[in-house]
Structure 1
């Protein structure tokens, strides 16, 4: 009986683990450096627990000192910025069309963004490639 009550007591206690928190205020769209974050003991379940997972990422929202960094608070750095001129590529059935467009939103490699074809003024959707071009699909 005593063993059962001790077991229930241990299960009810929150688990403490290391959590990544900022050491200073980090503005949105800033790249996170090694000196910007540290590990602290915390009982939060959501958030990062390893510094390498956070360093080099871009803040999507303002990050405040001492608060755990949530999974959706950061992401890969943007390659394409809003209003930037980009190369637009369309490939299908051996046909390749290259043109110039204007990015209508920010995006990192792999993100789906809206672009405007400068020739036709048509709004398209495409995927940001690692080289900064936009791959348009049907």
Structure 2
């Protein structure tokens, strides 16, 4: 038993370095990340992205600097709706379906919740952005 413990203690300090993804250039917030913007760096850091495929096509939410690790919260899906964009509001509960025009009060991508002002009533409501850029009101 002691022999087994000695072997385990001897093997524990030996650990391989994992690879992390770092930018090759400064990527500003709201920029789409391309494959040429990323490289792998042999290092082990907790809570950072290790797969470059998961970052390609995503939008930087904050500025990303060369050589620094990218955390999962630093990127997200590309924004479909910008602040002050005119959008279509949809309320769909069968058999009732209502559409109206609104103005986005925030910025977001598919699945994000944003506030929108209904242009007819000037009422502020919250809705979820659909993949087609329309806002679904619940």
TM-score w.r.t. length of structure 2:
0.92
Displaced runs of 4+ in structure 1, greater than 4 A?
12-15
In structure 2, the partner of 1:92 is 93
CA contact (8 A) 1:14 1:43 kept: no
Structure 2 residue runs of 5 or longer lacking an equivalent are none
Match of 2:126, SS? strand
Map 1:1-138 → 2, pairs under 5 A: 4-5=5-6, 7-12=8-13, 15-137=16-138
Structure 1 residue runs of 5 or longer lacking an equivalent are none
Number of residue pairs aligned between Structure 1 and Structure 2: 137
Post-superposition offset of 1:3: 5.8
Q: CA RMSD, aligned part only?
A: 1.6
Deviations 1:21-47 (A, max 9, x none): 000110011000111111111110211
TM-score w.r.t. length of structure 1:
0.92
Write the distance in 2 (CA, Å) between the matches of 1:66 and 1:41.
Answer: 11
Q: 1:79 to 1:4 in 2, by over 3 A?
A: same
Write the distance in 2 (CA, Å) between the matches of 1:68 and 1:83.
Answer: 33
